[in-house]
């Protein structure tokens, strides 16, 4: 097989390294003119829209809180009640993570999504028909629980199905679809706030079921993860998926031969180390402890970098700087979600292979810290001067802050987490990151509205401290993963396979030397070619 000689050569090398060029088929045209890659990427929109379902909730709840009709119908809920309404959603997601992970590992990446669709349809009906706070809270829990069955398997399915040279970008695009939902929700509430009736908030509430409905209509077109199929011994089924979507029907494709051999041998080796069933594996070895520490850092700072104050309580933030009219708050909410989407896609997801994951995280955290410091100072000045120009400048820095948040934390959580874990730990690793993420969100939903009401802008000082801490942890612990295939990323943490280090077999907890498994040879791409 010849070496790829197209304009995409540099991008392929940046994404996966030089060796990938030896087995990639020669394409004489870009991917969007290559039928099987267009087909693959179109069906990947189905799991990509799972993030839009989650994003709709954040944009909608911000929008609903600006509506006089919503506040009046539910008797002007205080800060604690608002916290409970918002917190029940991530509590449901948290409780749904573990059964969805079990289903994903046991029955395939697709099965949990069907359960999620059913639960979300039920939750949407309850939410749109809510008669009181109690019914609204129940609907929020059901929606959250159902969302977990989409959020857990979707990024994994995308990563394990994506074409090798596009894996980093497409997996990073997953979380940017959060803003697709948020934009629709924000503008739907902006469009309905003029309605004098309760339909001003019921219409957006019912619209939350739109994305799950679209996903369900095309769900059965998605193939199962080839890595899950290989792990179940269904190698020929996995080969058929790869031949169809990665090789365009070429049964003799060196790329497919390489992918299958790499999957088989990596999964075989992983099964010697990991039990396939225990969460203890996440901290059993030094490499896995580092992976899980990184996942926990990402999960926590995804919610505690100052963003959750804006995500669910933008109304309270704008109140502190004198912007109180419903139309102004709804307009800012809509513009912010639209801006976030473009920033996350253009400056984040599409740059992960060019700039690198580690560098994006450092730029992002440093930019957020600088923005938050200036934002805090300006908020302090406004409280003493009541100068509306200063308040408007705060709004500008909210957008600047979110630009830096969007270039890393939006696209790379959970994309980075999915990458750093091996196949046998991938599902549980994503669940660990989401568990910390949702616990942080739950805590924030109770603390943020109360703190904003009690101490106002002084609360921002906490996030300046946390962002400093975040930058330090990323600097010392986050490795670069670009330039590697999904299986090769394991070597970034574990070292070269067969390097003489001890590994642990989980079924009997005995130590075995790696030279006892050194007969498992990992083929290089040049050998396959």
Find where tokens 């406004």 sit: 382
DSSP per-residue codes, 152-202: THHHHHHHHHS-GGGHHHHHHHHHHTHHHHHHHHHHHHHHHTT-SSTHHHH
d(CA 49, CA 53): 6
CA distance 457 to 486: 43
- Reply yes or no on whether the pLDDT at 522 is more than 70: no
Confidence check: pLDDT of 516 > 50: no
Give the pLDDT confidence of 293-346 residue by residue, as tens digits: 999 999 999 999 988 877 656 777 787 777 878 778 778 877 888 898 999 999
CA distances from 490 to 266, 291, 297, 360, 421 (A): 9, 10, 19, 21, 7
Label residue 15 by pLDDT band (50, 70, 90).
low
- Residues 268-297: tens digit of each pLDDT: 888 777 666 689 999 999 999 999 999 999
d(C-alpha 409, C-alpha 400), whole Å: 14
Peptide bond into 414 cis (omega under 30): yes
Contacts of 382 (CB under 8 A, 6+ apart): 320, 321, 322, 390, 391, 394, 457
Place of tokens 């450092």: 362
User: What is residue 525's predicted lDDT score, i.e. its pLDDT?
Assistant: 34
| pLDDT the model gives residue 18 | 66
176-222 tens-digit pLDDT: 998 898 888 878 877 887 788 888 889 988 998 999 999 999 999 99
pLDDT classification of 29: cutoffs 50, 70, 90 = confident
Six-digit token string for 191: 């469009």
Q: Mean pLDDT across the stretch 147-175?
A: 95
- What is the rounded CA–CA span in Å between residue 284 and residue 301? 24
Cβ–Cβ < 8 Å for 443, 322: no
Query: Which CA distances in Å does 59 have to 177, 187, 426?
Result: 12, 9, 29
- In order of 83, 90, 440, the CA distances from 446 in angstroms are 5, 12, 10
Q: How far apart are CA 415 and CA 388, in angstroms?
A: 40
Quick one: average pLDDT of 52-73? Answer: 81
What's domain 37-222+276-477's architecture?
Answer: Up-down Bundle (1.20)
Inter-CA distances, 507 with 273, 278, 281, Å: 9, 10, 11
Q: Provide the percentage of residues in the chain whose pLDDT is more than 90.
A: 51
Range in 299-313, 456-470, 490-504 with the lowest mean pLDDT? 490-504
Q: For residue 275, what pLDDT is reported?
A: 62
pLDDT of residue 491: 86
Q: Which residues pair with 513 in a beta bridge?
A: 502
pLDDT digit string (tens) for 234-274? 999 999 999 999 999 999 999 999 999 999 988 888 877 76
Residues in the chain: 529
The whole-model pTM stands at 0.85
**What's residue 309's pLDDT?**
79
Domain boundary assignment for the chain: 37-222+276-477, 223-273+497-529
Give φ, ψ of 34 to 5 degrees: -105, 115
DSSP for 372-422 reads HHHHHHHHHHHHHH--HHHHHHHHHHHHHHHHHHHHHHHHHHHHHHHHHS-
Q: Which two tokens stand for residue 344?
A: 């996350």
- Model confidence at 5: pLDDT above 50: no
């Amino acid at each position: 097989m010849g070496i790829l000689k197209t304009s995409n050569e540099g991008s392929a090398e940046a994404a996966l390294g030089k060796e990938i060029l030896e087995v990639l088929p020669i394409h004489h045209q870009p991917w969007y003119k290559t039928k099987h890659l267009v087909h693959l990427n179109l069906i990947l929109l189905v799991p990509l829209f799972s993030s839009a379902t989650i994003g709709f909730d954040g944009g909608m709840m911000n929008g609903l809180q600006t509506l006089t009709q919503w506040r009046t119908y539910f008797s002007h809920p205080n800060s604690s009640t608002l916290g409970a309404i918002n917190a029940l959603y991530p509590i449901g997601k948290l409780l749904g993570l573990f059964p969805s992970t079990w289903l994903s590992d046991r029955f395939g990446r697709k099965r949990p999504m069907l359960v999620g669709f059913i639960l979300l349809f039920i939750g949407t009906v309850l939410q749109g028909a809510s008669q009181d706070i109690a019914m609204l809270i129940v609907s929020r829990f059901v929606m959250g629980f159902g969302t977990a069955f989409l959020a857990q398997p979707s990024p994994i399915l995308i990563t394990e199905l994506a074409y090798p040279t596009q894996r980093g970008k497409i997996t990073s695009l997953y979380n940017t679809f959060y803003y697709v939902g948020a934009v629709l929700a924000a503008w739907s509430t902006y469009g309905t706030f003029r309605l004098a009736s309760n339909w001003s908030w019921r219409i957006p509430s019912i619209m939350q079921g739109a994305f799950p409905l679209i996903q369900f209509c095309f769900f059965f077109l998605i193939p199962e993860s080839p890595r899950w199929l290989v792990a179940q011994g269904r190698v020929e089924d996995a080969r058929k998926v790869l031949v169809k979507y990665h090789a365009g029907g070429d049964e003799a494709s060196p790329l497919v031969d390489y992918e299958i051999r790499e999957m088989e041998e990596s999964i075989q080796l992983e099964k010697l180390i990991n039990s396939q069933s225990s969460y203890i594996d996440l901290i059993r070895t030094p490499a896995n402890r580092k992976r899980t520490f990184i996942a926990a850092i990402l999960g926590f700072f995804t919610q505690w970098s100052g963003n959750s104050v804006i995500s669910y309580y933008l109304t309270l933030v704008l109140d502190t700087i004198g912007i109180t009219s419903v139309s102004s708050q709804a307009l800012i909410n809509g513009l912010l979600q639209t801006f976030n989407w473009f920033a996350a896609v253009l400056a984040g997801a599409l740059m992960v292979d060019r700039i690198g994951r580690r560098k994006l995280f450092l730029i992002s955290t440093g930019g957020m810290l600088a923005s938050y410091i200036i934002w805090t100072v300006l908020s302090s000045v406004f409280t003493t001067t009541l100068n509306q120009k200063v308040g408007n400048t705060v709004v500008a820095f909210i957008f600047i802050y979110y630009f830096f948040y969007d270039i890393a934390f939006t696209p790379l959580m959970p994309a980075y987490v999915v990458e750093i874990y091996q196949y046998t730990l991938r599902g549980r690793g994503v669940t660990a990151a989401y568990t910390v993420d949702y616990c942080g969100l739950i805590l924030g939903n109770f603390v943020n509205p109360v703190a904003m009401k009690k101490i106002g802008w002084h609360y921002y000082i906490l996030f300046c401290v946390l962002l400093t801490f975040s930058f330090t942890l990323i600097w010392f612990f986050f490795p670069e993963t670009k330039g590697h295939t999904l299986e090769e990323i394991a070597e970034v943490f574990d070292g070269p396979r067969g390097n003489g280090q001890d590994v642990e077999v989980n079924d009997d907890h005995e130590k075995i030397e790696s030279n006892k498994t050194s007969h498992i040879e990992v083929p290089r791409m040049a050998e396959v070619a």
